[in-house]
Each structure stands twice: as structure tokens, then as C-alpha cells.
Structure 1
Amino acid sequence: MNVKRLFRAVAPLFLMLPLVVPAGCRSSDSRIGKEPLTLRIGYSSAQDFERRYADRLSREFPEWTIEIVPSGGLLSGREPDPAGWLRKHPVDLIYLPPASFRKAADRGLLLDLEPRLEADPELEASFRPNLLELSALYGNGPTGGLIPSFYGEAVAVNRRTFEENGIRVPDRFDGWTDLVMLARRFDRGLLTPYEGPFDWIRGMGGSIGLSLRDEEDGSYELDTPAWRRLWRLAARGLLSGSVRVGGEGDFSSFVNGEYAMAIVGFKELEQLKSADGELDWTVLPLPSDFRSPGRSSRIVPDGFLSIPRSSAQPDAAWEALTFLLEDEADRRAEEDRADAAFGFPSLRAASALGTDRVSRIVEAVADRPPLPPVDEKPLPVSLREEADKAFRLAVERSIPVEAALRNLQAEADEGKFPPE
């Protein structure tokens, strides 16, 4: 059995559309599956649902009438209140983006799915590592929804380059210091996807649960011991010339064997697969949080499949939910690819036992137990630009890192970086 990741989506309008769907690894032998009923599903739009799932759900449950209730406003922010939306649009099953899911879970609007999971140990065991724990963290305890798919990053390693330099490939990175110091042992040690130094620093901080804003009042927290530590580490990596940011090399540079390591996500998966036979590569999890050893916040859910407490058909909704999860995972395994629109499936496919390289990269992405999610708001362009300038001054040794951060914090406190 395996996973299906549901959609992000957009489009508000009240629309209901009967659809149909094929079979996954569960069969509809159950009494529920053979009973005529109407199942209302909240999804961005009927077109998005059909584009994603075609008619597979209706084919699996031919006695059912499937109605898609457009919920794109929850994704776009036009409907900031999931409780109000659910009152106006009663549905049996709903796909929620992370922000809406957290609000709905906090207000007790969703069924706890833990008892149903415990009653289906085969399904529970099919989830990739840490995805169920991540669901519970987003729901503040109860499992109010299941993650159909997720995004994340890992570290790809060119084993041939390590061997040629007489350096052992590590089993893991206990912190970003381990990774950066290892990269410095190569002329071209680490290729990153970040646009500039500050984006890389933010990426490192985000992976270990650091936030640039105070959760209570939203004020900037730029000059803290943890952030200073990462600024100094980034300076050491970039000064050595072994770490690349800012578009100084696209991912093909790693595929061509020019770099020892690269930070990769699902977009790079296809390029790695096509390099088999030419590039001897493996994948390791991202560094963990030095304050919470072994943990990382780099697993990001695409969304959650949830059953509202107000559902008129909770048992049928559960049947549909598990089918969608398993069907998605099996289809991705058959196609031998991740989907750029949805990321990695959360379930392991019944047809793939996890021994291939594609499965290994997905396992590496999900390997670290998650940290509580950080609700980070988009940063103004002015802050990013000033932070990059401050970093360049520090790297050029015009001023110490501590002074650069102190000046940046002072500018933030003076209100120079208002939200956009």
C-alpha cells in the first residue's frame, strides 16, 4: 500500500461534479464501498481533482456519487477561516494546505484519525519515516489529517570524488558545521540551490527550526547566538571557495562530476536518475539541529487529507482517503518518478520495496524526525538585499560578522524593513 499526495489548488466557486476513479491496492469489497452514497470532497476545483486523479475514485467505488466542492479560497487566503468555510460548505473529506490545516486542527474541527490508523497496521507501516509524527506536530497532538505527499531536501554525494581524494563518505551530518567543514576539503565541495548568502543562511536556520521573527509580536530576531553561529559558518564556507551559492553553477555541474556534494530536492531527482552509470552517487539526510540532535524541520507537507467532524460519511471518507494515498504511491512507483507538482508520495508503494535509488533519496529526505513547524512569513526584498550587503562586508573583512549582524538588527528595530 502506498501514498498519494493531494493537491495544493486554487479556485473558489461552488461547483459539484461527479467523477470516477480506478483501483488502488485496497479493494472496495467493504460493505461501505458497495452502498450507494454521495461523498462530498473539498478540493481546490473539480478540474484540479480530475487532473490529479482522473476517474480513479469513481471506478474504485462505482456505487458512489462523488461531488467536488471547490475550496481554492482556503489555499489562496481569500478564505482565511476554515471553520466558516466548512459551515457554508459541508463536506465529508477535504484537502487542506498546511496553514488552513493548523487552524482547523487548533479549533477541533477535524476527526482524530489515530484510531483508524491503529486499526489498519498495514497502512500505518506503509508511511515513510516520520510522516505520521509530522502530521501530529502540525495538528498539535491529534492526527487530524494525513500527508499525501511532501517536499524536502537531502545531500547528494559524488562517491567517486570522495574516493579520488581519499576521503570517506560519512554516514550522516550531525550539524551544518560537519557539512561545511567537509566541503572545504574539496576545491568544489558543495553546490547549493540558494540565490545568495542570506538565502543559504536562512535555509540552514530553517532546517533546524530557527525563525527570523518573534512568534509573539512578529519583531525581527536577526542578531541571536544561533544566527551568529550560522553567519560565521557561511562565511567560512564561502571564503574557502568550496561552497557555491547565487547561481554560480546549476545542478548539471554536480551531475557532470564537478562537485563533491549538492543539496537536492525532488526537482533534481530526474537528473540524478538519468546520471546512473555515469555518476556514482548516494544520498544522505540534511544536517540535524545542534540543539535537538537528530531532528530537522526540512520535511514540508504539500497538504493534508482530513475528515471534518461534521462529515456525514466519515467511514466512506476514510475509505476514499486511504485509496487516494495508496493509488498515488503505486502510480508514482510504476512511472518511476516523483511529480514536480506534488513532491514525494508519503507512502511506500506496494510494488516498490525501497531498494532502488529513487526510493533511497526519498527515504533520505524523510529520514530526520521533524521539529515543530515554524510559521515563517515571507521576508521583504529590502531585508534580503541589506542582509546580503552586510554579509559581503563581513566576508571582505571590512567588519566582523558580529558587527554586521548588530547593524542589521538595529535597522530592523528602526522599522526599515516593513512587510510588503
Structure 2
Amino acid sequence: MFEIKKIAVGAGMKGKFVNKAVLTVLCCLLAAGCAGGAGRKPVEEAQSTLKVLYFNESAFYQQYGDLFSMENKNVELEVVSTQGLNNNLEDKTYEEAFNELVEKEKPDVLLLDPGTFAEYINDGKLLELDPLLKKDQYSVEGIYPGLLDMLKELGGSKLYGLAPTFYGNAVFYNRELFRKYGVEPPHDQMTWQEILDLARRFPADGDEESRVYGFGNDYSASVDYLINKIASSEDLMYVNPATMKVTVDTDSWKRVYELAIQASSAGVVYSPKDGGFMGGTIEQFYRSQPFLMGRAAMMVGDPFTLQMLKQAKTAIKDYKPFELGMVSGPVDPADPSTTRNAGINEIFAIHAQSANQDIAWEFLKFVNGEDYARVKSRSMNGDLMSRMGFMKDDNGQSLDVFYALKPKLNRNDMNSRKVPTEFRGQFQSLMSEEIALVQENKKSLDEALKTIQEKGQAALDQALKVQKDNKGNQGGDANEVFIMPRPAN
């Protein structure tokens, strides 16, 4: 019998990549594998070599390379892997090591995160794509408009890269529970305040193992989790990257803390005392998920949640399906037509000094084209295709909700690489300790925020000093790709 163990990863892009890998493995254990595919017009040239910078060679071929090679037999792909780059930093930062690798290997196609993408544009290292689009009459009309706007914003209104996929969230809800308890169902553009207010209208009594929760994500929705999720949606930063000052002792942060603490204290969110599922069989994993089991009215999820709902039917003998609903959100109340819970993991760009720009452009056109989207949409788990119209309705459930809001750049994503990695863990521990004191009525929230501000600043100053004195020794592992934290789903 398969065993699943809960894997703790730091919030962020690192967490996103690791979490994506874990979800993909789980899905492969439960479902059928990937489909083969089609493409655009093959490259009709003599044998050529295309160097592609990617975080892992096997992952590249599985996701992109195999399909491209089938259609372009005259192109030999060479993958320059960044995997393990953090383990050999010596006296360099990750960014310096990354830049040195690019300079040494001179890849034609670069995989970049939004922060590095913006830096490379400013440094003139990337080829502008607009002239190529015009020359080839390559249509981008079918690509998620908000995603293109985000890429153009990073490029100062010009396009320097394309993203085949993106990640996005929506508010999932159990229609049957809302009908049973006479609660008005969620609506599009839900804020966290509205989500948690709605959750309060469900009963909060009963046994922890069998009761209904107003809100319950796949893992325990602790106060820390809620604070991070709400703050991310509203673009609140706990460190100002320009001044390197901790910024939590403000009215905006206080409101977020109050909202999360009150929701947790009211018992309306799933936050088991034992921390929830920590290991066991696939069936035990699914039974531990309150929303999947019909015991939570709402959760915030992504397309992989739909896959888990399907697989639960086969993994649990007595599983009882329920009527699912989905609406857009969570959103920032100050800008409800946009979302910071959608963004880009993988931006492909062409090196400005590439000697194979024509072939590199063929690669970008292929992986961002309709044929590629048509094939890969059959095997996507947690991410979404940027080309709209190819992600199929799941059991009658439209996926349009994931394309309903305009993605907006998250300042935490763009700036957090300036914050030392070790500080983040220290800050999270400090925050958890102070929240616990507030919940135990041993401190007021104002006192706790003051302590978090002061001790957090001291920890940040020390981490920056250590970073300066011992440049590059900031931790990391072979799976870390980009140091850009973003709260996981």
C-alpha cells in the first residue's frame, strides 16, 4: 500500500516548485500518465543544438522537450540544469552563481522567475519578442490576457518572454452544505473577510473528527496560514526591501492578525490540535481532508483540487460525492477585479546574445502554441494552460473561474530575495509564539505586534550581518530553484 507523508516546505516559489513535484508524484500514483503530442511547423534546418536553461533535465523533457523533439528532429536539445546550484555557492550568492552559470554556458533559452526576468530585461540580456511576433504573425490572442499584461508590465510595456502555464486559485464550496444550513452561497470576487464571515454562519460544535467546518483547506488552516494568505492577497509585506525594516506594527497588519485570530478562536476553520495528516495510506490521506469528505463548506484550491475530488471516489469505498461550486477569489478589497493569488512559475525568454535565436523562437512558439496546449491540457495537475480554451470542464465544472481575474504582481514575490532565508524561519517562529500568547490571553495583540516588530528587526539585522560576513552561506537544497517565497495553496 502506498504511503504518503506530509512534507513541510517553506512558503514561496521554492515551496511552489517542491509542492508541484509532490503533487505530480501523487497524481501519477493515482491516475493515468501523460499524453503524447503535436506541435507547430517543425524546424526545417540542418542539425542544430539548442541550449535551454531549466531547473531539472528530466523534468524539462517530460514537460517540454520530448514533444518539441518529436516535431523538430533536426534540433538537438541540451539542458543546462540549475539543480543543486545552491549546494556549491562557496563565497557567492545564489543570484551570482546563477548569473555566472548563464554567462559560462550561454544558453539560448532561459527559464526565469519574475524577479530575475525583470532584472535581465533591465540589463539588456533578453531579446524583445514583439518584432518576432509581428514578423511571423504569431497570434497571442488566445493567451490569458491578464498574463500577457503581467509579462509586459515586467518588460516596460514590451514583451520579452512567454509563459506556457500559470498557477491560480479559486474559492471552492460545497453547495449541499450551504443549502442544508440555509446559508447564502459564495459569490465571485470574494475577499478573505467575506470568506471567513461566511464560514462563521456554519455550526462550530461537535467532534473534531466528524463536525462541519465553515472553512477547511487540505492541511490545517492555522492562524499563521491564514495571516500569510490574507497578507499575500492584500500585498502586505512584513519587510520593506528598500529599507530592510520589519513593517508589521501597522493598522493594516493588525486588521489581518485580528481577522485570522478571531476566525480561529471561533472554531470555524479546520485546524486540528494534532496538526492534521502527518503520514499514512492514500485512503487515510483523503479521509483527513475535510473539504473532500464533505465536512467543510469552503476551501481555497486550484485545479489539482478537482483531481483529488475525482480520485477520492476511487480511493474511498464509501465515498459520498457532493455538488461542487466555484467562484473567483480571494481578492484584495481595494482592487477586487485583480488577484495576487495567480502568477507565473516559468517564464521562457531568449538570450539576447544567442547564436540560435531563430530556433529559440521556434521553441517558444511551440511551447506557447495551441497544439502544445491541446496535448498538455490533458495531463495538467495543479497548473493551468496560458492558452485559453484547452483546459476542459471537470465533470461539468467550468474552469473559467481561474481566468476571471487579472493577475497582479506581488511585491513579496518580486522583492523577497533580498530577505535572508534563515530570517524567514526565525520570523515565522516568532510570529507563532506571539500569536499563541494572544490566544491564551497572556498578551494583547498590540503588545504582540510590538514584540514581533522589535524582535523581528533584531533578527533581520543579525541575519543581514551574517549574510554580509559569510556571503553565500544561506542554506538551500538541491530542490531549490528560485528564492522567491509565495504562500502555497
Normalising by structure 2, report the TM-score.
Answer: 0.70
Q: Is structure 2 residue 73 aligned with structure 1 residue 57? A: no
Q: In the alignment, residue 298 of structure 2 is paired with which amino acid? A: M
Offset of residue 310 of structure 1: 1.3
Offset of residue 204 of structure 1: 1.2
- Correspondence for 1:16: none
The residue correspondences of 1:176-325 to structure 2 (distance < 5 A) are: 176-187=192-203, 188-192=213-217, 193=219, 196-245=222-271, 247-248=275-276, 252-274=289-311, 278-325=321-368
Seen in structure 2, the aligned counterparts of structure 1 residues 48 and 334 have a Cα distance that, compared at 3 Å, is closer
Seen in structure 2, the aligned counterparts of structure 1 residues 121 and 156 have a Cα distance that, compared at 3 Å, is farther
- Work out which structure has the larger RCO, using CA pairs closer than 8 Å and 6 or more positions apart in sequence: 2
Seen in structure 2, the aligned counterparts of structure 1 residues 244 and 91 have a Cα distance that, compared at 3 Å, is same
Q: Percent identity?
A: 23
Q: Is structure 2 residue 46 aligned with structure 1 residue 36? A: yes
The residue correspondences of 1:111-130 to structure 2 (distance < 5 A) are: 111-117=127-133, 123-130=139-146
Q: Distance in 1 between matches of 2:87 and 2:127?
A: 24
Q: Distance in 2 between matches of 1:399 and 1:111?
A: 55
SS in 2 for 1:34: coil
Structure 1 unmatched ranges of 5 or more: 1-6, 10-21
Q: Distance in 2 between matches of 1:281 and 1:264?
A: 12
Q: In the alignment, residue 89 of structure 1 is paired with which amino acid? A: E
Q: In the alignment, residue 331 of structure 1 is paired with which amino acid? A: V
Task: Indicate if the aligned counterparts of 1:220 and 1:409 stay in contact, CA closer than 8 A.
Answer: yes
- Correspondence for 1:26: 40
SS in 2 for 1:126: coil
Q: In the alignment, residue 224 of structure 2 is paired with which amino acid? A: F
Q: Distance in 2 between matches of 1:416 and 1:46?
A: 36
Offset of residue 259 of structure 1: 0.7
Q: In the alignment, residue 52 of structure 1 is paired with which amino acid? A: Q
Task: Indicate if the aligned counterparts of 1:380 and 1:417 stay in contact, CA closer than 8 A.
Answer: no
Normalising by structure 1, report the TM-score.
Answer: 0.81
Q: In the alignment, residue 405 of structure 1 is paired with which amino acid? A: L
Task: Indicate if the aligned counterparts of 1:42 and 1:71 stay in contact, CA closer than 8 A.
Answer: no
Offset of residue 119 of structure 1: 6.5
The residue correspondences of 1:384-395 to structure 2 (distance < 5 A) are: 384-395=428-439
Q: Distance in 2 between matches of 1:168 and 1:119?
A: 52
How many residues get paired? 391
Q: In the alignment, residue 190 of structure 1 is paired with which amino acid? A: F
Seen in structure 2, the aligned counterparts of structure 1 residues 77 and 205 have a Cα distance that, compared at 3 Å, is farther
Task: Indicate if the aligned counterparts of 1:183 and 1:260 stay in contact, CA closer than 8 A.
Answer: yes
- Correspondence for 2:387: 347
Q: In the alignment, residue 432 of structure 2 is paired with which amino acid? A: D
Task: Indicate if the aligned counterparts of 2:261 and 2:439 stay in contact, CA closer than 8 A.
Answer: yes
Task: Indicate if the aligned counterparts of 2:161 and 2:349 stay in contact, CA closer than 8 A.
Answer: yes
Q: Distance in 1 between matches of 2:260 and 2:441?
A: 14
Task: Indicate if the aligned counterparts of 1:147 and 1:346 stay in contact, CA closer than 8 A.
Answer: yes
Offset of residue 190 of structure 1: 0.5
Q: Distance in 2 between matches of 1:220 and 1:311?
A: 42
Seen in structure 2, the aligned counterparts of structure 1 residues 103 and 241 have a Cα distance that, compared at 3 Å, is same
Task: Indicate if the aligned counterparts of 1:39 and 1:92 stay in contact, CA closer than 8 A.
Answer: no
Structure 1 residues 44-53 or 75-84, which shifts more? 75-84
Offset of residue 121 of structure 1: 7.5
Task: Indicate if the aligned counterparts of 2:187 and 2:328 stay in contact, CA closer than 8 A.
Answer: no
Q: Distance in 2 between matches of 1:150 and 1:320?
A: 18
Q: Is structure 2 residue 451 aligned with structure 1 residue 407? A: yes
SS in 1 for 2:339: coil
Q: Distance in 1 between matches of 2:397 and 2:359?
A: 31
Q: Distance in 2 between matches of 1:43 and 1:75?
A: 16
Q: In the alignment, residue 154 of structure 1 is paired with which amino acid? A: A
Q: Distance in 2 between matches of 1:178 and 1:120?
A: 47
Structure 1 residues 86-95 or 68-77, which shifts more? 68-77
Seen in structure 2, the aligned counterparts of structure 1 residues 371 and 53 have a Cα distance that, compared at 3 Å, is closer
Q: Distance in 2 between matches of 1:190 and 1:120?
A: 49
Q: Distance in 1 between matches of 2:156 and 2:310?
A: 37
Q: In the alignment, residue 292 of structure 2 is paired with which amino acid? A: V
